[in-house]
Structures are given as C-alpha cells and as structure tokens.
Chains A and B, each alone.
Chain A
Amino acid sequence: MADTYLQVIFWAFFALMAIAGIRVVTTRNVIHAALYLVATLLGAASMYVLLYAEFVAWVQVLVYVGAVVVLMLFGLMLTRAPIGSANFDNNQRLVGAVCAGLLFAVTSFIMVGAFEGQEIDFTGTEGTKVQSIGEAIFSIYVLPFEIVSVLLLAALVGAVVISRRDEGRVDS
C-alpha cells in the first residue's frame, strides 16, 4: 500500500519536473524561466526525500531553490538586463540539443549499466541522517569545515572589493 503512494508521489513530481524543465528552455520571459527552474529543483529535492536522503533534499532546497535562484533574480534586477519577453535565442539550439542529448545518453547508459535489474530494498532504511553528517563534520572533517569558513570569508572580502565604487581613489 505504501508503495502505491510512493509511486503516485514519484510520478506526480516527475510530471512536475518534466513540464517545468521543458518550460525553462521554451519560455521567452527570463523571469518565468527562473521560476520554472525553482519548480524543477524542488522536484529534484522531492526525489531525494523519496530516496531517504533528507539532508541532501534540504540542502537542495536551501542552496539551489533558495540561494542560486534568488541570486539569478537579483543578478537580473541589478544588471538591468532586459526583463520581459526579450528573445535570448542565439542560434545555437542545435549544438545545445546535441550536447544535452549526448549527456542524457551517457548518463542513462552508465546508470542502466550499473543498476539494471537491481531492486534496492528500502524497508527499515533510515537513510542518511543529519546526525551522522554532523558527527562527521565535527570529528574527522573539522579542519576542512573551518577552512571552508576562511574560504567564504576570502570570497566575501573579494566581493566587497569588486563591487565597491571608485569614489575613494586618492591621487598622490
């Protein structure tokens, strides 16, 4: 019975992702495209939940849905890019289609080759718990974790340098 529910949920989110994904590349409004991208990424997050990877799912929501798409929208807003129904077609549809098709073919080939016919039993699985990830971060990976904060700090300082206006330039 539970399996049926899972199937229904899976196909529902699958449909959402497929439709939204197609709309991302076909819509002529770049803001709409960004919003469709949100739907696609949320669908991916739901797939992670179905695979018992709750932590990855929430990271997906926070980082991709939250940060990346907001970043894109802010980028559009701040650079005064042509919002609305501007035509972004740069006559490279064929190249894009071939690349995307090849990527899909290779990925599917590898996935099918690796997992064909295998049934993964999820009964009794707890999945990756946040607790185990937290324990790993604060035990063996404590130094990399700290270095990441230095990395982000350097990025922050760099962003300040790049975005600052040149009013303060003093002539010597």
Chain B
Amino acid sequence: MGLNTPEIELLGIAPEIALVVGALFILIVDAIIGEGGNKWHLWILSTIALGVSIFLAVQAWGSNELQMGDMIAVDGFAAFVKITLAVFALLTVWLSRSYLHRDGIEESEFYGLLLFAVAGMMLMASAADLIMVFLALETFSLALYVLVGFRRTSLTGQESAMKYFLLGAFSSTFLLLGIAFVYGAIGSTQMYGSSAAGAGAQGIATALVSLPAGEFTLLVIATGLLVVGLGFKVAAVPFHMWTPDAYQGAPSPVTGFMAAATKLAGFAALIRLLDAILFPLRGDWRPLVIGIAVLTMVVGSVLAVVQEDLKRLLAYSSIAHAGFVFTGIIASNDRGVSGSLFYLATYGITVLGAFAVIAVLGGRDERRTTVDDFRGLFYESPLLAGALTLFLLSLAGVPATVGFVGKLVVFGAAVEAGYSWLVVVGVLASAVAAFFYLKVLVVMYMQERQEGAEPATSGYGGLATGVIGLAALATVALGLYWSPLIDFAERATFFFSAGG
C-alpha cells in the first residue's frame, strides 16, 4: 500500500497557523508568568500574532490555486478577507485590553479564544470543501460562544451565551444536512472538483458542468439548506432571533467583533458558494436569497426603531446591514462581489468604532447602555459624542462617510444586474434606519444630562481611545477617498477557477 498524501504547502494556511501558534504561546506564557501583574504581555503578544498573520496573508496575494489536497483555495478573495479579518481582530484586541483591564477580568483565555476564532474565520474564507466550511464555522463559533459569556458574573451575559450556543448548534445541523445533500447529489463534498486522483475528484463546480440538466434537484435543496445554515451566522431574517440577545449580553468588544468579523466570515463562505461555485444555478437560488434580503433589510430596520438599548439597536441595525450586503450577492457580478467585500470591510470598521464608544461609556459591568444613558453626552464628553455621531451617520449612509460609499457600490451593482426594485426597498429601509440613528443623536445633543448621573467616562485606557480614533479616521478618510480600498476589493475579486 502507498499513502497518497497531498502536497503540503504551508504558505496557504500560514496566516491561520500563525494565529493558532500565537494563541498557544499566549496561553503558555501566561501560565508561566502567573497571576497578578499588569498583563500587558497578553495584548502585545496578540498584536504580534495578528501582525505576523497579516504579513503572511499578504505574501499569499496573487496566488490562485487549490492546496492541501484541494481543501483550501488560495486566491485573491481569500487574501482580502483574511487581511480584513486580522485588522478587525487587531482593533478588537486593543479595545478588549482597555475593557477587560477596567472590569478586572483580563485573562489569557480571552485572547487565546479570540485568536482561535480569527483562525477559524480565515479558514472559512478560503475553504474549498464543505467539510472545511463546517469545521471552520464550528471553530470560530465555539470560541465565540465562550467569548459572549465571558462576563461570568453577569446573568445577561450567561443568558446571551446560552441562547447563542443553542441556536448556533441548531443552525449547524442545517449546514450539515446541506452538506449531506451535496454528498448525495455528487458523491463528494468538494466545491471545485479536482484533477487529482482520489475519492473526491468530483466537485460541485464540475458536477454542474457534467450532470445533465434536470438532475440538479438535490443540489438545489442543498443550496437552500446551506444558505439557511450560513444565514444564521450572518444574522439574516428569519434566522436572526439570537442576534439582539447575544449582542446585548456579550462584552462590547466581542459584540463589535461579532458584528464585523462573524458577518464577514459568514458572507465570505456565502459569496464563494453562491457567486463563484453555484453561479450556474443562480436562477434557482436568487428567489430564495432575494426573499431573505428583503426581509432582512425591512425587519432589521423597522425593529431597530423601537429599541431602547443601544446595543440591541445596533444589533438590529447589523441585521439590516446584512440585508444590504445580500443585494450585492444577488447581483452576482464582479461589482457585486467587490462591492460586498468593500461594504463588509467598511461596515466592520464603523461598527467596531461604535461598539468601542459603547464599551468606554458603558462603564464597569456595562451598566449604562440604554439610549437614555447617553442623554446630554455632548456636553460632558464632546469628543466621544462626536465619534459616536460619526459612526452612526456612517451606518445610516450619510454622504462624506464611508457608509454612503458602501451602499452606493452594492446598490449600483444590483441596478447593473437589473434589480432596481430591490434597491428601492434598500433605500426605503435605509430611510427608516436613519430615523433611529438620528434618535440617538437627538438624545446626545438636545437633551440635558440627568441630575446626579455618574460621569460618563471612567477608567479606560489609551488603547480604547486609539481604537475609536482609528475607526473614526478610517470612516472619514475612506468616505472621502475610497478608491484605494475599492481598487483593492476589485483586484481581490478573483476566485480560484479551474481555467485560470
């Protein structure tokens, strides 16, 4: 017997390896140093691991191949998503340092789990086999379940973690069933199908070419189930039930990370599946995805109006934003894909900034997160109020912020593909959404501060300020001068394909 091992090319998964090694290193170093002390080594080591990961992800730029026995695709799309994920994680690490330090719950496991989560998300972006999609999804989900409940003394935190865990496990079954249907249809779980000999020579892409028309029923069912399973993770309606609860109870840095990075990872897998692999079946999946997109935009925007808690409000807003990304996916042209990437990257930066402000203002144990608590904030801390204003305006899509550019790009792609009515729905939803962002602004600027209220800001580090500053800078700078990032996203829009 001979073992037909695949060629091991580590460069393709080097960013993930760097993160896993970094996580292990952090856990071990912390065990050696022990209790007490300032714990500064944790965020420094995390920063180094993420920096190395970005460096390695950049190295893979330009390659376009399947590696490790056709399990992962190393292409521009994956590289873009990996770099963006690592940037999100960097901001999260710095913010978490301030947050955890203030609340006295700084533990090495937080950083370790965060790095595991990022590694899983990166694998998701380059997965070229449905088994890899599932494993990557489970890796980052498991880490996130624990991170959501990281404030162990908080009952809301525990409730959030429990709900997220149960619904997340439930959604995994849909994904698995979808994978099973794919296996039933084509006899393997590969997305592309390969030239290499072995059990998995057939893939979805090759099957779509070789199978006679009319035998796609199983694949269509599978597509539906895969969209449901991944729809849970990106918080699309009607699979959004967990989102407000999980976002509210999670520590604010984790909430920001989930809104930014989990969405990006989930959408990365969806985009690769729908717009690259299942593109020939678009007539079948478009009605389903259009329904989800319309529901997501409308329900997310409308339900956000009645929220009293700022974290819940942003949770519903994140649902609405998932709907906007879906319009880019439905367009399924090059502009749609690059527009979705651009949208996800810029939305992530903005929402991380918004949650950074909330983390700072919420105070120890997040006692102040309702909209009322932000009353008269402008008169007490004009800079933070200004930053939050900027982020909310960007989320609303006001011109001169990056949120406007993002909406312009995805809506433009949808119009190009002939879905103008979908864009009308999206614009109407944005108009509704603008209402609740403005509601927060009114409270901050036009109402008096409550008598005897605690000072809004107490005991947060310079790192959190830096994160808010960076996010604000990016929101304005990219809103005025967006072409470099769009160019980058456009050049990233090449998937591995057997032809080239």
Contacts and interface: CB of A to CB of B under 8 A. Distances in A.
B132 interface: yes
A117 interface: no
Given A161-B109, A166-B153, A172-B104, A147 B146 contact: no
A119 interface: no
Q: How large is the interface on A (under 10, 10 to 19, 20 to 34, 35 or more residues)?
A: 20 to 34
7 contacts: A131-B1, A141-B131, A143-B72, A144-B132, A147-B139, A151-B120, A172-B459
A139 B13 CA distance: 17
A93 interface: no
Interface stretch (A20-28, A63-71, A152-160): A152-160
A160 B142 CA distance: 13
Interface string A133-165: 001101111111001101101110110111010
B105 A142 contact: no
A153 B68 CA distance: 21
B138 interface: yes
Interface stretch (B111-119, B267-275, B492-500): B111-119
B68 A154 contact: no
A140 B139 contact: no
A168 B103 CA distance: 12
A51 B376 CA distance: 73
Given A139-B6, A154-B113, A161 B107 contact: yes
A172 B104 CA distance: 6
B68 A142 contact: yes
Given A150-B116, A172-B102, 4 more contacts: A139-B69, A142-B6, A158-B143, A166-B152
A140 B188 CA distance: 12
A171 B36 CA distance: 11
A170 interface: yes
A171 B365 CA distance: 12
B1 to A, nearest CB: 7
A142 B5 contact: yes
Contacts of B107: 161, 168
Nearest to B143: A154
B85 to A, nearest CB: 16
Given A142-B68, A160-B109, A162-B146, A147 B199 contact: no
A86 B152 CA distance: 31
B149 A162 contact: yes
Contacts of A160: 109
B35 interface: yes
A111 B105 CA distance: 54
Nearest to B100: A172
B27 interface: yes
Contacts of A142: 5-6, 68-69
A155 B138 CA distance: 10
B455 interface: no
Contacts of A141: 69, 71, 131
Interface in A30-69: none
Contact of B138 (A135, A151, A162): A151
A131 B1 CA distance: 10
A80 interface: no
A131 B149 CA distance: 42
B31 to A, nearest CB: 11
A163 B254 CA distance: 20
Interface of B: 1, 3-6, 13, 20, 27, 35-36, 68-72, 101-102, 104-105, 107, 109-110, 112-113, 116-117, 119-120, 123, 129, 131-132, 135-136, 138-139, 142-143, 145-146, 149-150, 152-153, 198-200, 459
Contacts of A148: 135
B198 A147 contact: no
Contact of A169 (B71, B104, B131): B104
A170 B135 CA distance: 36
Nearest to B110: A161
B34 to A, nearest CB: 11
Contacts of B129: 144
Q: Which of A142, A158, A162, A172 has the most CB of B within 10 A?
A: A158
A64 B200 CA distance: 29
A46 B117 CA distance: 39
A166 B157 CA distance: 15
A136 B131 CA distance: 14
A140 B67 CA distance: 11
Contact of A157 (B70, B109, B459): B109
A135 to B, nearest CB: 6
A157 B116 contact: yes
Q: Which of A142, A148, A166 has the most CB of B within 10 A?
A: A142
A170 to B, nearest CB: 5
Nearest to B138: A151
Contacts of B136: 147
Nearest to B12: A143
A107 B177 CA distance: 15
A158 B459 contact: no
B109 A151 contact: no
B68 A143 contact: yes
Listed from nearest, the 7 A-B pairs whose CB atoms lie closest are A158-B146, A154-B116, A143-B68, A143-B71, A140-B69, A147-B135, A151-B139
A29 B101 CA distance: 48
Contacts of B104: 169-172
A42 to B, nearest CB: 26
A162 B148 CA distance: 11
B198 A140 contact: yes
B150 A157 contact: no
A147 B68 CA distance: 12
Contacts of A154: 113, 116-117, 120, 139, 142-143
Contacts of A139: 3-6, 69, 198
Contact of B145 (A144, A153, A158, A169): A158
A150 B69 contact: no
A147 B116 contact: no
Contacts of B142: 151, 154-155, 158
